[in-house]
């Protein structure tokens, strides 16, 4: 696609429910990132996928969080048993490292705004 696409753009869920957030990266981009941003705060790294390599999950805050990337393209971030502190914007980004020059320029989607009530 022309850009990184995320869905849903907004999600309100009840505490304790599971949610799934989807990211469709730019076509051909091998690297995919998930970040979380709480209101007025910086970007918190969650997980990084690069090609067929094992993902870097070092930023996932708890075992309630998981992510997968199927076929090297679309990624889903799943939050189980949501808590109020999970409320934030979840941002997905993609890039194409190793293509030389500014190949690792990162492009962000518009985010999924999650509110846990």
Partner 1 sequence: GIQVEQSPPDLILQEGANSTLRCNFSDSVNNLQWFHQNPWGQLINLFYIPSGTKQNGRLSATTVATERYSLLYISSSQTTDSGVYFCAVESGGYQKVTFGTGTKLQVIP
Q: What is the contact surface with partner 1 in residues (CB under 8 A)?
A: 31, 33, 35, 37, 42-43, 45, 48, 50, 56, 58, 89, 91, 93, 97, 101-102, 104-108, 110-111
Closest distance of CB 43 from partner 1, Å: 4
Instruction: Indicate the residue among 16 and 51 with the shorter CB distance to partner 1.
Output: 51
Closest distance of CB 68 from partner 1, Å: 18
Q: Mark 70-99 as b/e (b = at least 16 C-beta within 10 Å).
A: eeeeebebebeebeeebbbbbbbbbbbeee
Instruction: Indicate the residue among 16 and 99 with the shorter CB distance to partner 1.
Output: 99
CA–CA separation, 71 vs 34, rounded Å? 17
């Amino acid at each position: 696609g022309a850009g990184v696409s995320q869905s849903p753009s907004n999600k309100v869920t009840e505490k304790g429910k599971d949610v799934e957030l989807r990211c469709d990266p730019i076509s051909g981009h091998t690297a995919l990132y998930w970040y979380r941003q709480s209101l007025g705060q910086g970007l918190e790294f969650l997980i990084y996928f690069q090609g067929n390599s094992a993902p870097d999950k070092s930023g996932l805050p708890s075992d309630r969080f998981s992510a997968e990337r199927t076929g090297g393209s679309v990624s889903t971030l799943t939050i189980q048993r949501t808590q109020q502190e999970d409320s934030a914007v979840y941002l997905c980004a993609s890039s194409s490292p190793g293509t030389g020059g500014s190949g690792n320029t990162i492009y962000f989607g518009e985010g999924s705004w999650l509110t846990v009530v």
